[in-house]
Structure 1
Amino acid sequence: MPERRGSPTDATDRPSGFEASLPTVLDIVRLPVLQAGDPEIVAGTGALDRAVRWVHVSDNLDAADLLDGGELLLSTGAGWSDEPAELTAFVERLRRVRVAGLVLELGGRLDAVPSALVEACDEAGLPLIVLRRIVKFVAVTEAVHSRIILEQADALRERDRLHELFIGLSLRGSTAEYIVEQLARVLRAPVVLEDLNHRVVAAEMLDAGDEALADWESTSRTLHRDASVQTPQTAQATQTTRETPTTDAAGWDTVAVEARGIRWGSLIALPGEPHTAGRSQVMEQAAVALAIGRLAEGDADEWTRLGNEQLLADLLGARYSSDAGIAARFEAAGLPVRGRALVGIAVHPGVGNGGAQGPVDVLAAASLLGGPVIAAPRAEGGGQVLALSVPPEARLTDAVFDEFARRLARGGSGLIIGVGAVARDLSGLIASIEEAQELLRSPREERGRGVAVLRAENRPLLRLVAAFAGDPRLQAHSEQMLRPLIEYDLEVDGDLLAVLLAYVSHPGNRTKAAAASHLSRSVFYQRIALIEDLLDVDLDDGETVSALHAALLARR
């Protein structure tokens, strides 16, 4: 059977990037048209998952010259040599062009499989399927090509749908976290967005859990480094193109997030099922959406800021499944927590400071504190909340925080900083942040236009209440002590709780308490008398005042 010689322009032009939608060698062996030939897999059983891009029929030993990889070669062996060396060389040529598999039909020239062919295919890892009964090769090619074309059409439709999905998300201004979440659900696999320092900006871990982020930076750097090792052929192929998606030894698929020649990070999908449109192609769609959003934001630190805000919100709102998982997320975001001292800090601009400090200002000034921080806006009243991580032996003195406050104020006025107690784990960090915020809410003193640093270690009652904040007995105490005032304020839109807080914050000094409540002294005294009547207590009794103060702190 004469065949023309191939040339660089002879290869069939087939669309690339659809490997996930292509049938494997094993899929084709299971087709009815091939099952009719009584197939037997005699070699290369470990490579049956190879994708088949096309089917080619040839009985000559020079068939490799007409192939460009991914084909399933059908043959009767009519033009083959009987020499074992020539069969071995034939298989080696098929291996070099990356043929998916070889199907040999017996019953014509060959009644048995040459042992040299079996040995060569096993050595090359090339699937060899023998047909014991004759089948029409035209029926095989028609069945396989129809399946390939139909599945690639499905892949094209799915790719178009996902293109609309991700471009729509970017045009609607969706956050990076939401785009990552959608990508994870499309791929049905955990997805991570990391910055150039290998810190996690956003992640959707699905059933894997946040524990999978443990030691993220170290693991990510190792896999990126291993993936960057190229053969001379790979290096030459990528010199003229932008970085292509890669799959590393751990099964991570990685796509760069970049635009206008600037790379901002990487989008990483952990191992999962193949996708109709191709995992790397779907990830590229999401990477484009992220890049568009990044260009629109303009702020170089926007991803980090939003990621930190969400992380702190999840911590304070107890929106995490396990302590180990949330700890892994913090460490992956660049805030170490294991074996560290953790401190919650609240920053708020006071009178005359003209607004809250921006996140860049806070992070720059925080370098004085001796450890990494993450920051997020406070839930009320402006300002920000910071989580600080320092070595356990670090000395966080008043002088350190005073200098931090002065650097942050930059000559402004009215800056107030609350510093919670030092914690040793994330549960303690929650209490520390709550202490810091409570220090800023407390009317303990008028702070005027100066720069003030308030520390929880100087407020023993606040520290005690914060330590037991989640105890239902403390909550019951708060409800029992304050219920009449709560119901009164709700009924008449009153301010008795605020007045009582001002009173207990300035025990023995009703003049300061009245000033802190922003009421005239006569009106303040009337409120105090009403509180005593409603609660049936004497507010000159020290133990009663302490119990009420604890109840107010627990409620807040």
Structure 2
Amino acid sequence: MLFLTVADVVADPAVQAGDPDVRVGGSALLAPVRWVHVSDSLGVARLLDGGELLLTTGAGWDADADGLRDFVVGLHRAGLAGIVFEQGTRHSEVPAAVVDACAELGLALVVLTREVKFVAVTEAVHHRLIAAQTDALFERQRLHELFTGLSLQGAPADVVVSETARALGSPVLLENLAGEVVAIEALGMTVADALGSRHGAERVFVQARGTRWGALLALPGPAHPAGRSTVLEQGATALAFGCIADGEEAWSLLAHRSLIEDLLGARFARTEDLAERLKAGGFALAGRHCLGIVARGVESVSALAYRARQAGFAVVAARVGDDDAALLSAPASVVVTDDVLLRIAGPGRAVFVGPSSDDVTGLLSSLRAARDLADGDRSDVGVRVRRVDDRPLERLVTTLRDDHRLQDHSRRMLAPLIRHDHDQRGDLLDVLGALLAHPGNRSAAAAASHLSRSVFYQRLAVIADLLDADLDDGETLAALHVALLSWRARR
């Protein structure tokens, strides 16, 4: 492993004592130095293994311009890192042919204008190289302990990606075999910029036992004592252990859960970053029919995602509390009917559907609205589809559920019923809900309450008496509807 560059050597005090003049620099100074070699011979190239920095006075350079050019070409082919030439009695100036050849080949050339002890230079450089190699050994051990610990603890892929990025000091991404981004740690960059730069990233495959699951990518960053590729390989190994233990499906679940949680929790700075994450995960928005849904009932979220893909949708789905939350995307020509949604959700499930959208902001609103609608409806009615667009009042109330004025209104209107149901283990709030759900059809309201009409009417009389309210008055029913929706949204 190479730890120093020509620029590092030139900056060393032992070389600075020679008042160095860089004749060929730029990117050539970034060449790695593995060792220092001292020689004035024109035949030194055959003694090199590559990565050496040549210290010379040129005392043996007894050749014409063509010969000196061939000499430099041979050094370059041997993998020389650069030439440090000390002016002296043999050459008061570095030969022009050497300067021209180094410039043409991009080989670093540094001229020492004052005499130095080459032994002091070699001693200083070799000391730094050995110290760096020792540091690298300790760093490799630290990395081994870090990633072994993550593997033994069963750390999820996003944690491994974050630790790899912090170790490297640069953004790191995890892709599956389809090129979809599973996890990303952008560090100081925006997510959109990091995703846009990944095609030039260093890449290590995540694989084990002959199976390849994806790739770990690192964007350019600072040098690492153990080598950047070593860090990436350690991270990839930890990820491979995770795939062996949890299966490849864990990556998809992780990527989907992260997106859903960030959307619902507003854990993002720019919508552009979310748009890029969705795009990187294969979820298209532009020109598509996109919406957020919440499915209630016991079911595997993986099965929901599978059925959505089988139906031609792009999907992002995750378990949120007791429900499944999902983003769906289909061609704009597709009509997302209730039957389609019920098939995607699975047997025996209720589905809450947000408005359609074709951008991130709208999709965010759609998912939140579906979630609010689901939170405000905890009834035991089974298979059904409820759309936010069909429930404007409920959507408004759930959006404002944290407003203290709405909460005060709810408590003030419903307090007698809440106390009655608590003390008597009654069902007056449920009966009121059935009445408000069927304001013009009390027979249907009684059926929804699972009560006979006579018993239902008795319950209504008790409600009217406790509230001192006329249950035939439209404004009273509207106020009670708002109060009940607010109360349910906070449960």
- TM-score normalized by structure 2? 0.87
Stretch deviating more after TM superposition (432-441 or 144-153): 432-441
Please say if residues 57 and 91 of structure 2, whose CA atoms lie closer than 8 Å, have aligned partners that are also in contact.
yes
**Residue of structure 1 equivalent to 2:53:** 72
What residue is the counterpart of 2:167 in the other structure? 186
Amino acid at match of 2:364: I
Choose the corresponding residue for 1:111, options 78, 81, 92. Answer: 92
Preserved CA contact (<8 Å) 1:213 1:329? no
Name the CA shift for 1:297/1:128 in 2 (closer, same or farther; >3 Å): same
Count of aligned pairs: 478
Deviations 1:383-421 (A, max 9, x none): x2211012333322344335546xx33xxxx33333322
SS of 1:478's equivalent in the other structure is: helix
Q: Deviation at 1:378?
A: 3.1
1:126 is aligned to 107
Q: Is 2:409 the counterpart of 1:481?
A: yes
Deviations 1:152-196 (A, max 9, x none): 211221221121111111111111111111222222211111111
Once the two structures are superposed, the pairs formed by residues 242-261 of structure 1 within 5 Å of their partners are 250=200, 252-261=201-210
Q: Partner of 2:319 in structure 1?
A: 377
Matches within 5 A, 1:177-216: 177-212=158-193
Give yes or no for the alignment of 1:541 onto 2:476: no
Mark the CA change 1:110 to 1:379 in structure 2 (over 3 Å): closer, same or farther. Answer: same
- On the 8 A contact 2:307/2:343 being kept in 1, the answer is no
Q: CA deviation at 1:307?
A: 1.3
Contact 1:39 1:131 in 2 (8 A): yes
Q: 1:88 to 1:204 in 2, by over 3 A?
A: same
Amino acid at match of 1:70: G
Cα separation, 2, equivalents of 1:426 and 1:496: 42
Amino acid at match of 2:309: S
Q: Hey, what's the Cα distance between the residues in 2 that align with 1:149 and 1:492?
A: 82
Answering whether residue 446 of structure 2 is matched by residue 511 of structure 1, we say yes
- Comparing 425-434 with 263-272, greater Cα deviation is found at 425-434
- Report the more deviating stretch, 497-506 or 392-401: 497-506
Match of 2:256 in 1: 308
> Could you say which residue in structure 1 is the equivalent of 2:291?
343
- Aligned-partner residue type, residue 150 of structure 2: L
Query: Which residue of 2 is the match for residue 366 of structure 1?
Result: 308
Quote how far apart the aligned CAs of 1:347 are: 2.1
User: Retained in 2: the 8 A contact 1:444–1:502?
Assistant: no
In the TM superposition, 1:447-526 aligns within 5 A as: 447=381, 451-465=383-397, 469=399, 475-484=403-412, 494=422, 501=433, 504-507=436-439, 509=442, 511-512=446-447, 514-515=449-450
- Choose the corresponding residue for 1:401, options 330, 333, 341: 341
Contact 2:351–2:386 (CA under 8 A) maintained in structure 1: yes
- Give the equivalent residue in structure 2 for 1:423: 357
One-letter amino acid matched to 1:296 = A
Q: Which residue of 2 aligns with 1:230?
A: none
Aligned AA (1:310)? S
Task: Choose which of 258, 277, 302 in structure 2 pairs with 1:329.
Answer: 277
Shift of 1:41: 1.2
Determine if the alignment matches structure 1 residue 30 to structure 2 residue 11.
yes
Give the superposition deviation at 1:499: 6.7
Q: CA separation in 2, counterparts of 1:266 and 1:192?
A: 8
Over 3 Å counting, the alpha-carbon distance change for 1:77 and 1:331 in structure 2 is same
Are the equivalent residues in 1 in contact too, given 2:161–2:173 (CA < 8 A)? yes
Tell me, yes or no, if the aligned pair for 2:173 and 2:185 is still in contact at 8 Å. Answer: yes
Q: Secondary structure at the match of 1:370?
A: coil
Distance 1:487 1:150 in 2: 76
**Residue 241 of structure 1 corresponds to which residue in structure 2?**
none
Mark the CA change 1:53 to 1:430 in structure 2 (over 3 Å): closer, same or farther. same
Corresponding residue number in structure 1 for 2:73:
92
CA–CA distance in structure 2, aligned partners of residues 85 and 526 of structure 1? 113
Aligned to 2:43: 62
Contact 2:353 2:388 in 1 (8 A): yes
Does the 8 A contact of 1:420 with 1:435 survive in 2? yes
Aligned position for 1:102: 83
Superposition map of 1:259-338 within 5 A = 259-298=208-247, 300-338=248-286
The whole-number CA distance in structure 2 between the counterparts of 1:452 and 1:31 is 76
Stretch moving more, 329-338 or 288-297: 329-338
DSSP-derived class of the 2:207 partner:
strand
1:164 aligns with 145
Determine the C-alpha separation between the residues in 1 that align with 2:392 and 2:331. 24
Q: Displacement, 1:341?
A: 2.5
Q: How well do the aligned residues superpose, as a CA RMSD in angstroms?
A: 3.2
Q: Give the counterpart letter for 1:316 in structure 2.
A: L
Unmatched segments (≥5 aa) in structure 2: none
Show the counterpart of 1:390: 330
Distance 1:316 1:442, change over 3 A: closer
Amino acid at match of 2:411: R
Secondary structure of 1:335 counterpart: coil
- In the TM superposition, what whole-angstrom CA distance separates every residue of 1:462-509 from its partner, at most 9, and x where no partner exists? 35556xx2x69x835522311347989999994987775555334454
Amino acid at match of 1:263: R
Q: Distance in 1 between matches of 2:213 and 2:26?
A: 42
Seen in structure 2, the aligned counterparts of structure 1 residues 306 and 45 have a Cα distance that, compared at 3 Å, is: closer
What CA distance in whole angstroms lies between the structure 1 residues aligned with 2:365 and 2:397? Answer: 9
Q: 1:521 to 1:554 in 2, by over 3 A?
A: closer
For 2:354, give the aligned amino acid: G
Deviation at 1:56, TM superposition (A): 0.8
Q: Which amino acid counterpart does residue 96 of structure 1 have in structure 2?
A: R
CA contact (8 A) 2:354 2:388 kept: yes
Matched letter for residue 433 of structure 1: L
Greater Cα shift, 544-553 or 260-269: 544-553
Find the aligned partners of 2:449 and 2:476 in 1 and give their Cα distance: 19
Measure, in 2, the Cα distance between the counterparts of 1:492 and 1:286.
60
Aligned-partner residue type, residue 446 of structure 2: T
Is contact 2:34–2:51 with CA below 8 Å preserved after alignment? yes
Q: CA deviation at 1:424?
A: 3.1
- Does the Cα contact within 8 Å between 1:369 and 1:396 map onto a contact in 2? no
Q: The residue matched to 2:103 in structure 1 has which SS?
A: helix
Contact 2:434 2:446 (C-alpha < 8 Å) held by counterparts: no
Supply the distance in 2 between the matched residues of 1:342 and 1:492 (Cα, whole angstroms): 44
Q: Following the alignment from structure 1 to structure 2, what is the Cα–Cα distance between the partners of residues 421 and 458?
A: 10
